[in-house]
A and B are shown apart, each in its own frame.
Chain A
């Protein structure tokens, strides 16, 4: 029926798996450091001590944030698609999710700059 659309779904499926594998790594590190490693009360100084001047942590979050946002919003997209909304509704949701993802990525990366 609509070849272009079915191709974009296959890409979505593939990227979801790739970002998922990446997230397994990122989340295990993130959770291990913040929920199992640190003392139970986290404050500004604690985060700064870890992140300040650390090129590796900066790169870690610059990759982590867009990947996790893409995975989450692409997942929501899959859920919306399953419910078979009209073409117009699909377009609206797609635009909305992309805006959320792009704004979230920039704001998320901006949010870690005070600690660097």
Chain B
């Protein structure tokens, strides 16, 4: 019940202060990336729906969302997707296969895959940022 009296920032801060470990860190990042991705999802549906008003409308909207700046921001989108997807699979494996004891090891395996994914992402997205 004590949570009710605290602000949401205080709640997350306390959670981190009390449990400073990988689990809390990934829990926080999972929430943050999840909220960002959900907001992005609605923006994405709205931009794509401009096609309902014809090809010109769609193309003019896509010009707005395909600039050096947005290609740069897309790198952060890939960070959010890569982390949320891999960490989500880690949680699911721990939940479904009762692998709670191995979850830290799985976290670092996921981390290695994430690092590889980011190398590929940067090699594709960085040239786009500078190719306009």
Contacts and interface: CB of A to CB of B under 8 A. Distances in A.
A110 interface: yes
A35 B78 contact: yes
A73 interface: yes
B62 A114 contact: no
B104 interface: no
Contact of B41 (A20, A42, A69, A113): A69
A45 B59 CA distance: 9
Interface stretch (A1-9, A52-60, A76-84): A76-84
B35 A76 contact: yes
Contacts of B119: none
A35 B89 contact: no
A12 interface: no
Interface string B63-106: 00010000100100010010001001101100110000000000
Contact of B31 (A23, A79, A84): A79
A44 B85 CA distance: 29
Contacts of A100: 42
Interface in A17-75: 17, 20-21, 23-24, 27-28, 31, 35-36, 40-45, 47, 65, 68-69, 72-73, 75
Interface string B118-132: 001000110010010
Interface string B22-54: 000000000100110110011001001101101
B42 A104 contact: yes
26 contacts: A17-B95, A21-B89, A24-B85, A31-B78, A35-B74, A35-B125, A36-B120, A40-B71, A41-B62, A41-B66, A43-B58, A44-B58, A44-B62, A45-B55, A68-B41, A72-B34, A72-B41, A75-B35, A79-B35, A83-B11, A84-B3, A108-B48, A108-B49, A110-B49, A114-B52, A114-B55
Interface of A: 17, 20-21, 23-24, 27-28, 31, 35-36, 40-45, 47, 65, 68-69, 72-73, 75-76, 79, 83-84, 100, 104, 107-108, 110-115
Given A24-B85, A114-B54, 13 more contacts: A20-B92, A35-B74, A36-B124, A40-B71, A45-B55, A73-B38, A75-B34, A104-B42, A107-B45, A110-B49, A111-B51, A112-B48, A114-B52
6 pairs of A and B residues whose beta carbons are closest in the complex? A72-B38, A111-B49, A44-B55, A114-B51, A40-B128, A75-B34
